[in-house]
Amino acid sequence: MLLVVSLIALLISLLLPSLAKARQQARIAVCMVNARSLSGAAIAYSTYWRGKIFPYDNDGGLYYSSFWMTLIDEYTGDMDQIRMCPETVIDQASQAGANAAGWGTVKAAWGQPWVSAGWGFLGKNYGSYGWNAWMHSGRTAHINGTSVNAADHAKHWKSIKLTRTPSTTPFFSDMNWVDTWFSNRPGSVSPPPANLFAENSAAGRVCMDRHNRGVVHGYVDGSSGWTKLEDLWKLTWNSESVPMNPPWALPAQ
């Protein structure tokens, strides 16, 4: 009997890593379906507007009515089915971190749907995916003449028809916030965060260890895929992106 018990224990110890890996791959697969669905909704929105994408509405503030999740909701079928990566949860306690309340983390979604009156420009929107902010057609602050940052405005894609390589241009990605201005062009390169598990802004919004040192993207061509973190700098985030290796080594953990 002791021999049988020992054999069973040995088999369990051998099988557990395989089962854990299988569960992880299943969660990545679900995440890819979600990211592809979000990108499909954005493509449908853009198709309706003949390739145009809505601007980043920042002239005098940020607004719920022009937030990307609000605008594409009707094209998703059911936003509640796709807004959450299966690796994440949404609750107030899980959001505890260095940034303001409402920011997500590697394992927590952004937003505060439990706030009765809604939370700022997000309202009751929440999720664990973010938008490639360079996909906006521009910024209303520039369009309306209240901003003179024309160089920054020029980097926006303006239309999905103008993306050079739609299969490597993210629409949506795993993120701890609603969007990212990830940059990989000469003279302006987003550095990796110091900690891939911490709550970070800048490149750390998307460069985080959510899926085995990688994140999932939904691309402009309607596909989705998993990308290791080192390859984030090889994607075409904006109209001036130059695919490159990360300029600094990523944290080892």
- DSSP string of 41-73, one letter each residue: HHHHHHHHTTTB---B--SSS--GGGSHHHHHG
Residue 12: pLDDT over 70: no
pLDDT score, position 235 = 97
Query: When comparing pLDDT for 148 and 4, which is higher?
Result: 148
Compute the half-sphere exposure of residue 24: CA atoms within 13 Å on the CB side of its CA.
14
pLDDT score, position 227 = 96
Rounded Cα distance between 168 and 166, Å, is 5
Q: Residues 179-202: pLDDT tens digits?
A: 999 999 888 899 988 888 877 888
pLDDT score, position 100 = 66
Nearest alpha-carbon partner for 138 in 241, 37, 239, 36: 239
Residue 163: pLDDT over 60: yes
Contact status, residue 129 vs residue 173, Cβ threshold 8 Å: yes
Range 11-19 average pLDDT: 55
- Mapped to the 3 state alphabet, what secondary structure does 86-117 carry? CCCECCCHHHCCCCCCCCCCCCECECCCCCCC
pLDDT score, position 17 = 61
* CA dihedral sign of residues 217, 221, 223, 226: negative
Q: How confident is the model at residue 211 (pLDDT cuts 50, 70, 90)?
A: very high
Given strand 214-219, what is the order of strands in its sheet?
179-180, 129-132, 170-174, 214-219, 224-228
Residue 2: pLDDT over 70: no
State which H helix or E strand residue 217 sits in.
strand 214-219
pLDDT score, position 13 = 60
179-180 and 129-132: which strand pairing? parallel
pLDDT score, position 99 = 66
Q: What is the dihedral angle through the alpha carbons of 56, 61, 65, 67, rounded to the nearest 10 degrees?
A: 40
Q: Where are the alpha helices (DSSP H) in 121-223?
A: 140-143, 150-154
Average pLDDT, the chain: 88
Nearest alpha-carbon partner for 189 in 251, 250, 130, 246: 246
pLDDT score, position 153 = 79
pTM of structure: 0.88
Residue 169: pLDDT over 70: yes
Residue 135: pLDDT over 60: yes
Residue 149: pLDDT over 80: no
State which H helix or E strand residue 4 sits in.
helix 2-48
pLDDT score, position 76 = 95
